[in-house]
Chains A and B, each alone.
Chain A
Amino acid sequence: MKQSITLGRVTKFMGLGIFSTLKDLFTGKLEKEDFKNFIRKTIVPLASILLFIGIWHIGAKALYNKEADFKIQKALSDQGQAAADAMEACIASGDVSCKPNTLPSPAQVWDSYKSLLRDHNIIAADKAAFKEKTAVLNEKRIADGLDPITYTGRPSFVDQIFRSLKTVFAGFLLALLIAVPLGIFIGLSPTLKSSFNWFIQIFKPVSPVVWYLLVFMIVKTLLIDSNEDSSFTISFISVGLCSMWATLVNTAMGVSSVDKDYINVAKVLKLGPFQKIFKVVLPSSLPLIFTGLKITLSVAWMVLIAIELLAQSPGLGLFVWEEFQNGANDSNAKIIVAMFVIGIIGFLLDRLMLTIQNWVSFDKTEAI
């Protein structure tokens, strides 16, 4: 029975049912009795988003006024009335030099978002032009056995996002390659379980910062002869080590708690160890392994920001840190943009895992 893939099915499968409801609304396919559902699933979330933006706007305004008042009062007490008037005029004019530095309003964040996109387009155009210009020369260099000239300009915000994604996927892959096989062995053997238990219990709660420092100590020495920038290596290994614990614990638990009936069937049929693992144990623990992998990916994304910041590895974490350090007038707004981008990507990564899980696993967990 082959089922056709429709927008509705895909969005529902990914737990994004709201889009198909919206589509139904615009195409007029929405039934009367669906209307209540539509209000609950679409209108209410939209209203809560608007409410959130409203509170944010009011709060940001209050903070702005407090900061502005403080600046004026300070000018008054330090330099007198004239300075205070000048400060008030300066703030009202929106000049960069005296703008209150506080939580940006939603509108400012939106402007920053647009300016980051513009910036990205400029850099992308610049890059394309550079590529075109050097294409002939690079071909010649490669033919001569020389390294091609690469673009060394500033990365755009979008580039930073992709750098971060690259780091997080490398870290996630590392976690998967270590934690899943190790978890299977631990789950299968009570001896291994007791010998690894202390190890897991001690290292699981260690902070990302400490992992980073540990990895830094080791990798720095290992790569001492290399001129390559090791920040990417260090950050993805740290991300992997920080985030692998959930997968390790869940895999071990899934493997050791396979339904006794399945094990009995395997025993009666006298399946060999290899067959037992691949035909019975692994498929039946897939749901738990995937729960672990989902946690691992979200932890990886969460610690990534801190680790990039420490490792000075390009990416969103470094972007946030640099914005905070440079203190330009729209830095705060850019940080908030990064915050939303981080949040939304985290959400999409979670959905991605859920989709893969639904695909490979027999246990159809409802998308939450």
Chain B
Amino acid sequence: MSIVEEKLKNSAGSTVFSSSEVMLDLNNLKKIYPTPKGDYVVLEDLNLQIKKEEFVTIIGHSGCGKTTMLSMIAGLNPITGGNISVLGKPIKGPGPDRGVIFQAPSLMPWMTSLQNVMLGVNQVFPHATKAQRSDIAKYYLQKVGLEDAFHKRASDLSQGMQQRVGIARAFAIKPKVLLLDEPFGMLDSLTRGELQDILIEIWNKEKITAVMITHDVDEAIFLADRVVMMTSGPKAKIGDILDINFERPRTRKTVLEHDDYYKYRKHLIDFLEH
């Protein structure tokens, strides 16, 4: 029995971790959008537990409800049934304990990159001095390689640079959970690779529990500890979960050369084409 097959036995979201390990818990989550033709059930009986310091990627067909699920975790979309809790406490609306990196960079185009990051930092560290806050913001902007662009207006930055600011902004508020909604979906593949490297480098340092939606199978494997596959909607739920047992820190090269890489890849593609 291969590693992959062995891991499959306890998949489909049924794994239960001890509560002290769990950062994010989705319990019987349900989402209904009322339409003139009756209720449209997007998600039903969705159960997922995500451990502390875990990086989980979520993959599934377009329109299956991945983004709905993520925005419910972020608190931007009301929950129809079930509950979501962070460290055992049910969430109440959006908050900076769950940082979000949106698909569009969503920077305020009239602010500089530093001001954009400071917007969050000011909010989360109100008691720090101005110099301390500015240091935090600058530290993360440096981490994403924007040390020369502190004072450039967001509207003057390229899409890739804007998304770097988005990453810096999300990490700088030190969230408990980081939610990434296909953050690199709009980028060309070279830029995407660069940003994946940057993301994983910062993440290796900070180890913030991360949930990321992606369409890209390679990206899902490269970044994740577990890849969660969602069934197609309506009534989408967790279809399968694949553990990725590559050591960290990873590099693209070691991952691609690993024996299990193509097994993982095949497994995901089989699920998606199924």
Q: List residues of chain A with CB under 8 Å of any chain B CB.
A: 259, 261-262, 264-265, 267-271, 275, 279-280, 283-284, 286, 361-363
Which of B75, B96, B104, B110 has a CB less than 8 Å from the CB of A269? B96
Could you list 11 further interchain pairs (A-B, Cβ under 8 angstroms) beyond the known A265-B119, A267-B75?
A: A259-B106, A261-B104, A261-B106, A264-B76, A264-B94, A265-B106, A268-B74, A269-B96, A283-B111, A284-B108, A286-B110
What are 25 of the A-B contact pairs (CB < 8 Å)?
A259-B106, A261-B102, A262-B106, A264-B74, A265-B100, A265-B106, A265-B108, A267-B75, A267-B76, A267-B93, A267-B94, A268-B74, A268-B75, A268-B76, A268-B94, A269-B119, A269-B123, A270-B94, A270-B95, A270-B123, A283-B108, A283-B110, A284-B108, A361-B110, A362-B153
CA distance A124 to B95 in the complex (A): 67
Whole-angstrom distance between the Cβ of B106 and the nearest chain A Cβ: 4
CA distance A259 to B104 in the complex (A): 11
Q: Which residues of B contact A275 (CB under 8 A)?
A: 123
Whole-angstrom distance between the Cβ of B163 and the nearest chain A Cβ: 13
Scoring B residues 211 to 243 as 1 if CB is less than 8 Å from chain A, else 0, what string do you get? 000000000000000000000000000000000
Q: Which residues of B contact A267 (CB under 8 A)?
A: 75-76, 93-94
Which of A264, A268, A362 has a CB less than 8 Å from the CB of B110? A362
Scoring B residues 45 to 79 as 1 if CB is less than 8 Å from chain A, else 0, what string do you get? 00000000000000000000000000000111000
Q: Which residues of B contact A363 (CB under 8 A)?
A: 109
B108/A268 in contact, CB under 8 A: no
B155/A362 in contact, CB under 8 A: yes
B123/A264 in contact, CB under 8 A: no
A268/B96 in contact, CB under 8 A: yes
CA distance A270 to B110 in the complex (A): 20
Whole-angstrom distance between the Cβ of A206 and the nearest chain B Cβ: 36
Whole-angstrom distance between the Cβ of A258 and the nearest chain B Cβ: 11
CA distance A264 to B98 in the complex (A): 12
Let me know if B173 is at the binding interface, CB within 8 A.
Answer: yes
Scoring B residues 91 to 135 as 1 if CB is less than 8 Å from chain A, else 0, what string do you get? 001111011101010101111000000011001100000000000
Q: Which residues of B contact A361 (CB under 8 A)?
A: 110
Q: Which residues of B contact A362 (CB under 8 A)?
A: 109-110, 153, 155
Q: Which residues of A contact B153 (CB under 8 A)?
A: 362
Q: Which residues of A contact B104 (CB under 8 A)?
A: 261
Whole-angstrom distance between the Cβ of B98 and the nearest chain A Cβ: 7
Q: Which residues of B contact A283 (CB under 8 A)?
A: 108, 110-111
